[in-house]
Chain A
């Protein structure tokens, strides 16, 4: 007995020592973004309390996007230069002794025909794995950095309605937050470069090119739904490399969060806007290709700014690499310090469902029931937090297809989810969510069913497990009247026992439950048993 205690004591002691050591030396982390215009790496040092110190930022201009967007694939030269750049990044990582890193690639690689060869080449030459992320993951990562930065700086009251405008070369992303949570997201193909290229030829034909740009942009954002009520928006946040560049040139950048009043902004706007690209390029010594984007970016910002009632522009000075860093650092923080970014997705997903006029009470019932089942089945399904989260999203969205038509609403739900590019979800995750939604109803899935057939085997199994749960949860509320109250759940030998109470007639629920139970048994090897107790009787006792 003593020995065991002593042994246990030693173990505890060791753990303490480990913890002390970890507290002492901050963690080093490198984030690499293989973007459409440049490769960027940031190396940071993160303290356990969440303070992030940048050690190094490097970037290398390699216009991969030009290859992919024009030729559909990456050129030999670009691949070679990319590998060389990653090798040099790797060397720099060794200079700091960095052992943890993440490398993501965005649209330029994602959309290239020869992307798999490219990734293989990178792996062979640099020993680094490339993670390809989609647009919504990219934008959500950047959002994480914005939220982190704004929360940390307390520069603005983030519980007020906030519009975040993220301008990149090809598109802009509009995010709206309320009460510190994301409520809306929209992407428009109205990037600074795209605008410039669409109407650049007009510059020669008018002396007031600025006016033309203003009209062009104005017309394009007219139909953005939630901009109609933007007078309620009191915060305006901008992510724009061009604006940061301009601020730098004018010596107005603070490196961290910069805040411009309307007057500050108008002053900058007037200073730049009437100059031709050539003059900007000469006067400020910036490459022509960079200077070209200054004017469209400023007009974009001004157009949106004009639609808000904010008296200032907040520039958090972040990019995708910061998002990767925040995600990593945030994940290692203790519960009370951590920002719950999944709450943002949930909030956004609920707003989305709201827009499709979902039956809120039914969906909440299904969500609640499904999550309860998920928790109870932990030892059986072996799935983790993220899968639980995906199940939750699917529960919120499973019926949104009814907005289009009742029959077959589950296929509409599936299509809407696939088309809506849920923020922060990878392609795999999106398919999981849409498949869970699709097969909650009468259709029973097989591995070759639509949606599932796009997945690798392990993912299919996971999805099947979640589908089995949502089907049971949905069955419990077949009538959409929330008749059954779940009293307890338990796995007993080869049975999954669900004990419910009700005061009402529940034949429909019971019948549906029995119908859907077969699939559950197939997936889990457990027979679901629905026990319905009459609560009237209970109270009578």
Chain B
């Protein structure tokens, strides 16, 4: 009998799966192989990840509930049930995080001379320094806000640290008064203390404020005080059909976001119940998202600590990103691309050549036009500057700017406007679709006519993330891909309707059916007894339709090896689904971001890179591209990259059928594969080889007769 793989028992909930991803980041804090300061950073990431998760995902679940939506998701959970499960999973994770902080990181830091002092541990000199610091620096900017019949509960801003206090009511018989003080975000969270032994000691600024809090309420008794933090719903809901001008709409919603519903309350351990109850009640928060925290709130402050100078030996060894040998040896980038396709593997190889390419194009008299999609680009991006320069030089520059990148709009609007001023033709995205593909097209008039140069990548044109995200980029002068690129831009610019493409496959129009076709073909081949497999590396596997097909494929004997960095809603290893599905995940020094899809096709492998994950939003609501890798050398390389990743057994954790992950590293050095380290080493060696080749003198005298 045919199994119904659409049943909810075959799906993991995406929020819970995402939390497991965050758990894997947390596991890095506990990995003895990681340097201490990197562990701090991982812990900071766990925290900022959770913040975003609450603002976006939990916020959206609340939105669903508020809108009366109560349908179960693919895994059979209603929004209410999901919140329930998220609550208990988050509580455990927060507990584990602070256990690690208190149990491992604080002692380890202390061993390295970095101490976090509590008020009780301060010396007299330190005390008087802090008193002075409080009076002259902190006190002037503090604004206590009291709540009584005439004054409503103040608005507590998203993600700020605050101190709640209960102050004695001097009116006889009156209730204690609640007041709240925001810890001023203008000052560093960690106050550095003077130290005699050359060690470094810090105290949290909220502790300093708490020490002297009575000075804010002169004469009244402070009954209780606690440090707390609120996270608010930050999801954007824009009715695009109603929006005359996309840009204005987003600008408006940026201001609105601050007023989102509170979705989480974190309170430092030791607070009295009365205070916690007041907060939860006034913020209209249910108990489930009130987290009592054993340690300092908002560990994103660890990012600051990471920047502390003088601890390089407690961080990853600095990696110098070499320029791809294929580009290093050539003067002229277009010449190099014309020779053959060039594959770039970031961050192992430098992203600079891409920035260089735009700069070169700006100066090149033969270049007519440059077109590029920009998504989440940093404010001071050299790419943006290069594009503006090109427009200045009279090139036709078209830039598709994606405004809806979450929590990044302010940044986007700013530079988009500056590009417009420089004379670029700026398109602010498409109504109802986010442009997620990353593509650059350079049109050049050459002796034999118009030629096109294309760069397509799995990663954004962002020089900063290109240092920490793993991505694959393809530089090509393939005529078909060139024409496809033009068609893609014509569609994005609204010049044309559905583009007809030769080699590229575009979402939301064609990509889903292409993946369906590719999976179905493996199924067909497996049924006919042919070799059949699917190997893929992606960020998220959520799409129920794809998952259903993967189960069917597995049942028919298609071997499926997946490397999914983040959410994975499939359940690997289920007996009923043929046990042919294997899912691993790598979390490490670099954020795994490249997407590679490989289909056996009866031995005639189909190999692709893509900007798309197997998620509904990528396949149905975004403009994405799937790029076939055809050049034999490039194919070899992508294939090798995928294989090394799939063989990783140092960082790659295997997902079990219930959605937990386990690491199975072989003992001893032999047989260990650490993909990220492997690629760093490989890129460095290749660069050295290239350098040696270049420096090899033609006439090399022998210094002495060879011996033995």
Q: Which residues of A contact B (CB under 8 A)?
A: 24-26, 28, 45, 47, 53-61, 85, 88-89, 91-92, 94-97, 248, 285
> What CA separation (Å) do A96 and B493 show in the bound complex?
15
List the A side residues contacting B425 at CB < 8 Å. Answer: 91
B369 and A95 contacting across the interface, CB-CB below 8 Å: yes
List the A side residues contacting B486 at CB < 8 Å. Answer: 55-56
Task: Please choose the segment from B260-268, B300-308, B495-503 that sits at the chain A interface, where 4 or more of its residues have CB less than 8 A away.
Answer: B495-503
B window 487-540: CB within 8 A of A? 487, 490, 493-497, 500, 509, 513
The residue that B447 contacts in the complex, of A25, A28, A97, with Cβ under 8 A, is A25
CB closest residue in chain A, given B491:
A58
The residue that B368 contacts in the complex, of A24, A54, A97, with Cβ under 8 A, is A97
Pairs across A and B, CB under 8 Å, 9 listed: A25-B445, A26-B448, A53-B449, A55-B450, A58-B495, A59-B496, A61-B497, A92-B495, A97-B368
Interface: B231 (CB within 8 A):
no
CB closest residue in chain B, given A56:
B486
List the A side residues contacting B581 at CB < 8 Å. Answer: none
A96 and B495 contacting across the interface, CB-CB below 8 Å: no
Assuming the A-B contacts A60-B495, A60-B497, are A95 and B449 also in contact, with contact meaning beta carbons closer than 8 angstroms in the complex? no
CB closest residue in chain A, given B398:
A95
B497 and A96 contacting across the interface, CB-CB below 8 Å: no
List the A side residues contacting B496 at CB < 8 Å. Answer: 57-60
B window 357-405: CB within 8 A of A? 368-369, 371, 396, 398
> What CA separation (Å) do A97 and B369 show in the bound complex?
9
A88 and B497 contacting across the interface, CB-CB below 8 Å: no
> What CA separation (Å) do A412 and B398 show in the bound complex?
59
Interface: B443 (CB within 8 A):
yes
Which residue, of A53, A55, A95, A285, has the highest number of chain B Cβ atoms within 10 A?
A: A95
> What CA separation (Å) do A317 and B454 show in the bound complex?
27
List the B side residues contacting A94 at CB < 8 Å. Answer: 369, 396
List the A side residues contacting B513 at CB < 8 Å. Answer: 285
Q: With both chains docked as a complex, state the minimum distance between the C-beta of B449 and any C-beta of chain A, in angstroms.
A: 4
Q: With both chains docked as a complex, state the minimum distance between the C-beta of A291 and any C-beta of chain B, in angstroms.
A: 14
B contacts with A, residue count (CB < 8 A): 24
Known pairs A60-B494, A88-B493 / 8 extra A-B pairs, C-beta < 8 Å: A26-B450, A45-B450, A54-B483, A56-B490, A60-B495, A89-B495, A91-B425, A92-B493
Q: With both chains docked as a complex, state the minimum distance between the C-beta of A57 and any C-beta of chain B, in angstroms.
A: 8
B440-456 interface bits toward A, Cβ cutoff 8 Å, 1 = contact, 0 = none: 00010101111000000
List the A side residues contacting B368 at CB < 8 Å. Answer: 95-97
Q: With both chains docked as a complex, state the minimum distance between the C-beta of B151 and any C-beta of chain A, in angstroms.
A: 54
CB closest residue in chain A, given B371:
A95
B562-589 interface bits toward A, Cβ cutoff 8 Å, 1 = contact, 0 = none: 0000000000000000000000000000
List the B side residues contacting A92 at CB < 8 Å. Answer: 490, 493, 495
The residue that A59 contacts in the complex, of B396, B443, B497, with Cβ under 8 A, is B497
CB closest residue in chain A, given B494:
A88
CB closest residue in chain B, given A59:
B496
CB closest residue in chain B, given A93:
B396
CB closest residue in chain A, given B448:
A26
List the B side residues contacting A24 at CB < 8 Å. Answer: 447
Q: With both chains docked as a complex, state the minimum distance between the C-beta of A482 and any C-beta of chain B, in angstroms.
A: 54
> What CA separation (Å) do A89 and B495 show in the bound complex?
7
CB-based closest 4 A-B pairs: A95-B369, A58-B496, A58-B495, A95-B396
List the A side residues contacting B495 at CB < 8 Å. Answer: 58, 60, 85, 88-89, 92
List the B side residues contacting A89 at CB < 8 Å. Answer: 495
> What CA separation (Å) do A85 and B493 show in the bound complex?
11
Q: With both chains docked as a complex, state the minimum distance between the C-beta of B494 and any C-beta of chain A, in angstroms.
A: 7
List the A side residues contacting B493 at CB < 8 Å. Answer: 88, 91-92
> What CA separation (Å) do A285 and B369 show in the bound complex?
33
List the B side residues contacting A54 at CB < 8 Å. Answer: 483
List the A side residues contacting B369 at CB < 8 Å. Answer: 94-96
A26 and B449 contacting across the interface, CB-CB below 8 Å: yes
Q: With both chains docked as a complex, state the minimum distance between the C-beta of B619 and any C-beta of chain A, in angstroms.
A: 14
> What CA separation (Å) do A26 and B448 show in the bound complex?
7
CB closest residue in chain A, given B493:
A88
B window 459-503: CB within 8 A of A? 483, 486-487, 490, 493-497, 500
> What CA separation (Å) do A47 and B490 show in the bound complex?
25
CB closest residue in chain A, given B509:
A285
CB closest residue in chain B, given A47:
B449
List the A side residues contacting B450 at CB < 8 Å. Answer: 26, 28, 45, 53, 55, 96
Assuming the A-B contacts A56-B490, A92-B490, are A248 and B449 also in contact, with contact meaning beta carbons closer than 8 angstroms in the complex? no
List the B side residues contacting A58 at CB < 8 Å. Answer: 490, 495-496
CB closest residue in chain B, given A40:
B496
B447 and A91 contacting across the interface, CB-CB below 8 Å: no
List the A side residues contacting B490 at CB < 8 Å. Answer: 56, 58, 92
> What CA separation (Å) do A96 and B395 show in the bound complex?
10
The residue that A248 contacts in the complex, of B443, B448, B500, B509, with Cβ under 8 A, is B500
B396 and A91 contacting across the interface, CB-CB below 8 Å: yes
> What CA separation (Å) do A149 and B449 show in the bound complex?
21
CB closest residue in chain A, given B510:
A285
> What CA separation (Å) do A92 and B483 show in the bound complex?
14
> What CA separation (Å) do A57 and B443 show in the bound complex?
15
Q: With both chains docked as a complex, state the minimum distance between the C-beta of A202 and any C-beta of chain B, in angstroms.
A: 31
Which residue, of A54, A56, A59, A89, has the highest number of chain B Cβ atoms within 10 A?
A: A56
Which residue, of B369, B483, B493, B495, has the highest number of chain A Cβ atoms within 10 A?
A: B495
Q: With both chains docked as a complex, state the minimum distance between the C-beta of A541 and any C-beta of chain B, in angstroms.
A: 66
Assuming the A-B contacts A60-B496, A88-B493, A96-B369, are A25 and B449 also in contact, with contact meaning beta carbons closer than 8 angstroms in the complex? yes
List the B side residues contacting A56 at CB < 8 Å. Answer: 483, 486-487, 490
> What CA separation (Å) do A57 and B491 show in the bound complex?
11
Q: With both chains docked as a complex, state the minimum distance between the C-beta of A60 and any C-beta of chain B, in angstroms.
A: 7
> What CA separation (Å) do A285 and B510 show in the bound complex?
9
> What CA separation (Å) do A285 and B449 show in the bound complex?
36
> What CA separation (Å) do A39 and B486 show in the bound complex?
18
List the B side residues contacting A55 at CB < 8 Å. Answer: 450, 483, 486
Q: With both chains docked as a complex, state the minimum distance between the C-beta of A468 and any C-beta of chain B, in angstroms.
A: 48
List the A side residues contacting B494 at CB < 8 Å. Answer: 60, 88
Assuming the A-B contacts A56-B486, A91-B396, are A97 and B497 also in contact, with contact meaning beta carbons closer than 8 angstroms in the complex? no
List the A side residues contacting B497 at CB < 8 Å. Answer: 59-61
> What CA separation (Å) do A73 and B368 show in the bound complex?
39
List the A side residues contacting B445 at CB < 8 Å. Answer: 25, 97
> What CA separation (Å) do A60 and B496 show in the bound complex?
5
Which residue, of B398, B494, B496, has the highest number of chain A Cβ atoms within 10 A?
A: B496
CB closest residue in chain A, given B441:
A95
Q: With both chains docked as a complex, state the minimum distance between the C-beta of B495 and any C-beta of chain A, in angstroms.
A: 4
Q: With both chains docked as a complex, state the minimum distance between the C-beta of B86 and any C-beta of chain A, in angstroms.
A: 37
> What CA separation (Å) do A88 and B500 show in the bound complex?
19
Q: With both chains docked as a complex, state the minimum distance between the C-beta of A149 and any C-beta of chain B, in angstroms.
A: 18
CB closest residue in chain B, given A53:
B449
> What CA separation (Å) do A53 and B369 show in the bound complex?
18
> What CA separation (Å) do A56 and B496 show in the bound complex?
10
B window 241-263: CB within 8 A of A? none
Q: With both chains docked as a complex, state the minimum distance between the C-beta of B264 and any C-beta of chain A, in angstroms.
A: 43
> What CA separation (Å) do A47 and B449 show in the bound complex?
9
List the B side residues contacting A61 at CB < 8 Å. Answer: 497
B449 and A45 contacting across the interface, CB-CB below 8 Å: yes
List the A side residues contacting B509 at CB < 8 Å. Answer: 285
CB closest residue in chain A, given B500:
A248
CB closest residue in chain B, given A255:
B502
> What CA separation (Å) do A85 and B513 show in the bound complex?
30
List the B side residues contacting A25 at CB < 8 Å. Answer: 445, 447, 449
CB closest residue in chain A, given B396:
A95
CB closest residue in chain A, given B490:
A58
List the B side residues contacting A91 at CB < 8 Å. Answer: 396, 425, 493
> What CA separation (Å) do A457 and B490 show in the bound complex?
44
Q: With both chains docked as a complex, state the minimum distance between the C-beta of B138 and any C-beta of chain A, in angstroms.
A: 56
List the B side residues contacting A57 at CB < 8 Å. Answer: 487, 496
> What CA separation (Å) do A371 and B541 show in the bound complex?
78
> What CA separation (Å) do A446 and B483 show in the bound complex?
57
Q: With both chains docked as a complex, state the minimum distance between the C-beta of A179 and any C-beta of chain B, in angstroms.
A: 35
List the B side residues contacting A28 at CB < 8 Å. Answer: 450
List the B side residues contacting A53 at CB < 8 Å. Answer: 449-450
